[in-house]
């Protein structure tokens, strides 16, 4: 296998596995208490097997990354707290779906499941998404031989395509997803370090997970 092919797998395989497993879950309503651990195990195995050579764990701006992560969390929940427009047709329709959790009530009381769900949200999801969106796609859109493109290289079309696709990934939260995508894109350009984006994204998801569990606002876990 060529270095380019190995790198491509390392950057995109965890994300694809995650998305495919979510699609299967929607098509075939399988029990979440065992489907989620299987998904977790598969994505973790792919990261450990293929992605580790392309990951960095030393953020250049750790404090800035933490502050950005908290700021994105505030941006994520503030519109619902301040304005409560999530039921408008722009955010509740056949394309975006509705801001409703798919978790059955019994799983919300399952401590093991909730711990695994939280760990996945704050540790796995930021890694697989940052590898895919800002590690691979922002560079691949500039040059198909993406390894030639330094992390954080700015090109307007790549910047906005990734931001829009990142927004579409978040369904009824697409507008705050767009803002988050813009911020994370800007941060990779500013830091040129994937670890900073992973840290910022991880902080956002960690604080959001704590907020969901503490307040019972399960709609943020679609």
114-142 pLDDT per residue, tens: 999 999 999 999 999 999 999 999 999 99
For position 30, what pLDDT does the model report? 65
Q: Considering its fold, how many domains does the chain have in total?
A: 1
Contacts 24+ apart (CB under 8 A), 144-148: 145/4, 146/7, 146/8, 147/3, 147/4, 147/7
45 belongs to a structural domain: no
Phi, then psi, of 202 in degrees rounded to 5: -65, -40
Contact 41, 184 (CB under 8 A): no
156 belongs to a structural domain: yes
Among 134, 117, 148, smallest CA distance to 220 is for 117
pLDDT digits (tens, 9 = 90+) for 52-85: 999 989 999 999 999 999 999 999 999 999 999 9
Q: Which domain holds residue 116?
A: 56-220
28 belongs to a structural domain: no
Contact 18, 133 (CB under 8 A): no
- 18: burial class by Cβ within 10 Å (0-12, 13-18, 19+)? buried
Among 49, 27, 11, smallest CA distance to 146 is for 11
Structure tokens given for 132: 């895919």
73 belongs to a structural domain: yes
pTM over 0.75: yes
pLDDT digits (tens, 9 = 90+) for 145-177: 999 999 999 999 999 999 999 999 999 999 999
68 belongs to a structural domain: yes
Across the chain, mean pLDDT equals: 94
12 belongs to a structural domain: no
178 belongs to a structural domain: yes
Asked if the model's pLDDT at residue 207 lies above 90, the reply is yes
37 belongs to a structural domain: no
């Amino acid at each position: 296998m060529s270095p380019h092919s190995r790198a491509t797998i390392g950057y995109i395989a965890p994300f694809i596995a995650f998305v495919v497993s979510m699609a299967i879950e929607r098509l075939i309503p399988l029990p979440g208490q065992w489907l989620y651990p299987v998904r977790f195990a598969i994505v973790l195995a792919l990261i450990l097997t293929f992605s580790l050579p392309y990951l960095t764990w030393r953020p250049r701006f750790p404090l800035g990354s933490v502050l950005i992560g908290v700021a994105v969390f505030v941006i994520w929940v503030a519109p619902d707290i301040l304005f409560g427009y999530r039921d408008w047709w722009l955010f509740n329709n056949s394309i975006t779906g509705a801001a409703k959790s798919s978790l059955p009530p019994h799983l919300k009381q399952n401590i093991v499941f909730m711990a695994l769900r939280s760990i996945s949200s704050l540790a796995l999801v930021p890694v697989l998404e940052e590898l895919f969106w800002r590690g691979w796609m922002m560079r691949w859109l500039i040059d198909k031989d993406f390894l030639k493109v330094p992390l954080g290289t700015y090109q307007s079309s790549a910047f906005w395509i990734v931001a829009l696709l990142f927004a579409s990934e978040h369904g009824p939260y697409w507008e705050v997803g767009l803002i988050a995508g813009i911020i994370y894109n800007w941060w990779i350009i500013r830091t040129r370090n994937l670890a900073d984006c992973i840290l910022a994204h991880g902080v956002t998801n960690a604080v959001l997970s704590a907020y969901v569990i503490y307040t019972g606002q399960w709609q943020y876990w679609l």
